[in-house]
Amino acid sequence: MAVTPILVPVEKREEFGKGASRRLRREGRIPGVLYEAGIDNVHFSVDRIEISAIVRNEGVNAILELEYEGEKLLCMVKHVDQNVLTLDIDHIDVLGIKRGEKVNVEVPVVTTGEAHPDAVVLVENDLIEIEIDALSIPDELEVSIEGKEIGDQILAGDVALPEGAELLSDPEDLLVNFTYEQVDEDLEEAAEEAEEGGAEAGAESAEESSEE
């Protein structure tokens, strides 16, 4: 499915350093940098609320079109720095792209359906890396676990990819494992001993009551 870039107005950034970044944040904006091979880095600032909503709703593979100095710069979100206390975005890096260009991205994998009732579903990895047209990046990829039984596995190579996409992850990477319910023998033994101890204490109490 084709992706429509999100138009985002940004302003050229003339000042740099921690002090300048703090001033931007006080004004409700955050600093950002656009990286693209063959051109100088583009330093900009963007409205914090607007870019936070985009990242929250579209994820770190979001495709943007920055309105910058009368130009429209096509790019994708590559990294965000968040404040460890507030989780607010403090800085954003974007990668310049061209229409028709393929990019390497990690895409979430989600499961659908229900496994066999006896099988415990263990998601070992929920991301795979693919190469795909920048304007066709899916939000997520689905794998069905319908009817899967103990001993079954789903590997990266089992995931159906969009047309034109290529798997970059190892096809043998384990995504979902189907196993049996494992019981901690030590905990089970302790529980049995506690149960037996409780039963014995109850019996002794009953005997004492009858003697009285």
CATH code for the domain in which residue 77 is found: 2.40.240.10
Give the mean pLDDT of 60-69. 88
16 and 64 in a single domain? The answer is yes
Question: Contact at 8 Å (CB) between 126 and 110?
Answer: yes
Tokens for 199, please give them: 């039963």
Of 87-91, 111-115, 177-181, where does mean pLDDT reach its minimum? 87-91
Query: What's the pLDDT band for 187 if we cut at 50, 70, 90?
Result: low
Does a structural domain hold residue 1?
no
Residue 199 is predicted with a pLDDT of 52
For residue 40, being part of any structural domain is answered with: yes
Instruction: Give the list of residues 6+ apart from residue 34 with CB closer than 8 angstroms, or none.
Output: 41, 42, 44, 66, 73, 75, 94, 95, 96
If pLDDT is split at 50, 70 and 90, which confidence band does 62 have? confident
Burial 139-162 (b: 16+ CB within 10 A, else e): eebebebeebeeebebbbeebebe
User: For the whole model, what pTM was predicted?
Assistant: 0.67
Both 114 and 168 in one domain: the answer is: yes
- Residue 147 and residue 108 share a domain: yes
Report the SS3 class of residue 27. Answer: coil
Query: In terms of domains, do 31 and 112 share one?
Result: no
In a domain, 31, yes or no: yes
Residue 160 has pLDDT above 80, yes or no: yes
Least reliable range by pLDDT among 7-21, 55-69, 168-182, 197-211: 197-211
Domain at 167, CATH number = 2.170.120.20
Q: Which residues pair with 142 in a beta bridge?
A: 110
Does the residue 203 lie in any domain? no
> Domain limits at 175?
104-197
CA distance 105 to 168: 9
Last residue of a domain, one of 44, 66, 97: 97
What 3-state DSSP class applies to 167?
Answer: strand
pLDDT in tens, 111-155: 999 999 989 999 999 999 999 998 888 888 999 999 999 999 999
**What are the φ/ψ torsions at residue 159 (nearest 5 degrees)?**
-80, 130
- Higher pLDDT: 28 or 60? It is 28
In degrees, to the nearest 5, what angle opens at C-alpha 62 toward C-alphas 56 and 66?
110
Residue 208 in domain:
no
Residue 92 sits in the same domain as residue 63: yes
108 and 69 share one domain: no
- Asked if residue 116 and residue 71 are part of one domain, the reply reads no
Residue 11 lies in a domain: yes
| Maximum distance among all Cα pairs of the chain, rounded to whole angstroms | 98
